[in-house]
A and B are shown apart, each in its own frame.
Chain A
């Protein structure tokens, strides 16, 4: 599943990031925000009344807004519910 498809408030972790789908600057910024394989991630908010806006996700202790097109480069695996 891709990060932009992850339902709100579902715990997941990043399985893979397609760095080639991102520009150098975008890839660096994502790494600086703490995105990386194996990192836990959750989608908390979606902006969307005026079309498909960016999403706000929780990575580590940060809340980060990214566009859905960038989120589509990030593959996530949902964690099994207890």
Chain B
């Protein structure tokens, strides 16, 4: 066995979600030769599952009046708990309105302003004025001062991905779907491309490029319960980490979305609360105003998720067939017309999976792993640390727009905005680069992957079961590295993950591994997933403060004196723990302060 095919291109984009495709468009429009690799066809990417919308300060809706990039920036920094890169956030907030309008030009059917007086579920009356009629409207979302979340019903990710993919089709950019990058080819200084395994045939291919872009999304599936698609196993970030040279930034920053629907943990959009929905407890009491009198259900996600668990711990959780403990999402008062027009996707999901109609039924919800703030650490232009010719964007990257908590609607916005901004940098770098590789080096990387595959098939290193190890990892993350964290529990979690990591190096297949064997695909990913999980758990153990989504019960306060810094996790060859390094987080525009919601503002018990 050796590499079946070798492809040479200017820009290789690994992943076909929104960040990936938007950067590919930028490169292709500059005349570069681009290839997109993806586990799945682009329109099946997890970007399409984004529901609620995309934050951009257009200021068209009644309660959006006066909005601007500066307010969006302030909301983003507060949301991040001062963990984000403020230069990146500023650039992002200034660019995203143009991105929304460009998506409109390309064909996204954004919902529009209709003029007239409206009574909101909160009782407030607002008026959308005639001068804004027909412009792109927005809905309310968590942790924001203005209505800024532009949407198409609650299928925003779907429409945006489909439209960006039309541009990819129009430009004729080749997409090699069912092709998984399994190793980065590099010489210690420069990235030359990847070794990829074809998920149709099982064959190995080589892709060589001047620029390689990691845009493979998040790693939610290191947890047993996640809103993420089953393909979100962090594969791209894991192969970057595996070089030993490229660090993952802030992996301990994991977002738990307040409203995953048990027992399947599919997302119920934040738009449900943005549009006026409530959270209720077992007594059908609306409890969020007790904890967060100002923002209520629309504090940031980290805060709402913690308040929900706090309330469950206080004995107010619902016990039902859906989950041992959960709360209710109530959107009945929004009315059937609104629910089945603007929240249609989640209404359908509630019907499909629990037989519920949210226009008349309460929907069970529980905070669920949702987003990976950390990822391949890049500079503000998207260049990955550690290797020349390597870029990262979107959820796979730590650019770092989100710091320790991402605002709802900022991820979909990040994908296209980073695709555009970093895309321009990729063009600039690629035009100045030459393709100069040593074929022996390429062959050595292919051989190494062939060797891994051979050993997994023959069981040379052991007979450990890949699915058993995966399940144990996912459960460990649930038990020890979840919303509320403590030193002793994290230590146990790290120890368990280390043991599982060592076992993952001894996986042997139960099947023949022939063709596009799914057991082999999982086995190839498993050590990388465990390294990623260890970056999360160990980074969390060492960060002795609470910031955004990283909450340490033994260190419940944000500690700006010691921890205004970003974790960089490296994986050295032969190690069974990441090596952590830190870099300062500068706050050049907005010094650390009060978020306006959360425990530090509203107090531990609220009220």
Question: Real complex partners, A and B?
Answer: no
* Interface residues in chain B, defined as those with a beta carbon under 8 Å from any beta carbon in chain A: none
* Interface residues in chain A, defined as those with a beta carbon under 8 Å from any beta carbon in chain B: none
